[in-house]
């Protein structure tokens, strides 16, 4: 595997170029190759203990997009104009609790860890949940899993920007109503998965009206 050698200037330029695109050009479509590339960066994203507590639904069906509008006040214009629209799901307690079938499957079948390593890994993961982060109820476990999905979200938006593709992350939705819709219309088992975020991808209809603003670098970084 080759060591990456991407010019730092190009990476910073992509971060400056990226903005939360409010309206996309509906006449422009992301190629299948480029969209799979973006999703692959989510696939390769890191997660706590490497347990990948996520699933991504790419919503291209017009009727399904339309059904999302009443439960996602921040999404209608993006649903109408984005080339691709992705729902980021986070696993709930039955999937990510230390003694779940999924966690055992990840250690045994995906990571293919030896039995003694599985025993150690499982013990450390249980201590992490019970002692270090006090993940003692379903909401805390879901919130922890949602944090992991945001790593994948950031990587998708960055990889898109690096290739000249725009994006917009969306939290403007009613979680309970949205999950009821996902169960009814999308076939999602909402006992196992909850909605963490929405994100739209496409090509901007126009450049942003305002210059990107950020606090001074020294205001957010402390060296010790």
Under the banding of pLDDT at 50, 70 and 90, the label for residue 210 is confident
> What is the 8-class DSSP label of residue 59?
-
CA dist., res. 124 & res. 49, Å (int): 10
- pLDDT > 70: percent of the chain: 100
Bridge-partner residues for 9, per DSSP?
Answer: none
Read off the pLDDT of each residue in 195-223 and give the average, rounded to a whole number: 95
CA dist., res. 112 & res. 208, Å (int): 47
How many residues make up the chain in this entry? 224
CA dist., res. 19 & res. 224, Å (int): 32
pLDDT for res 73 = 97
Token pair belonging to 112: 């293919």
Give SS3 for 138.
Answer: helix
Read off the pLDDT of each residue in 85-113 and give the average, rounded to a whole number: 98
Under the banding of pLDDT at 50, 70 and 90, the label for residue 1 is confident
CA dist., res. 17 & res. 207, Å (int): 10
What are the pLDDT digits (tens) for 165-189?
A: 999 999 999 999 999 999 999 999 9
């Amino acid at each position: 595997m080759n060591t990456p050698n991407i010019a730092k200037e190009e990476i910073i330029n992509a971060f400056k170029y990226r903005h939360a695109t409010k309206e996309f050009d509906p006449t422009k479509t992301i190629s299948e190759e480029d969209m799979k590339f973006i999703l692959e960066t989510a696939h390769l994203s890191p997660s706590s203990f490497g347990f990948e507590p996520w699933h991504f639904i790419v919503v291209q069906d017009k009727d399904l997009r339309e059904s999302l509008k009443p439960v996602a006040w921040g999404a209608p214009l993006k649903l109408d104009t984005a080339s691709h629209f992705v729902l980021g799901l986070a696993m709930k307690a039955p999937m990510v609790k230390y003694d779940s079938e999924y966690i055992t499957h990840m250690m045994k079948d995906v990571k293919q860890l030896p039995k003694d390593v599985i025993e150690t890994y499982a013990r450390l993961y249980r201590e992490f949940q019970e002692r270090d982060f006090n993940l003692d109820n379903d909401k805390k476990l879901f919130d922890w899993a949602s944090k992991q999905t945001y790593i994948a979200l950031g990587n998708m938006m960055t990889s898109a920007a690096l290739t000249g593709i725009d994006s917009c992350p969306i939290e403007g939705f009613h979680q309970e109503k949205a999950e009821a819709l996902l169960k009814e219309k999308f076939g999602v088992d909402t006992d196992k998965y909850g909605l963490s975020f929405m994100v739209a991808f496409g090509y901007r209809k126009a450049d942003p009206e305002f210059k990107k603003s950020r606090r001074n670098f020294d205001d957010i970084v402390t060296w010790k």
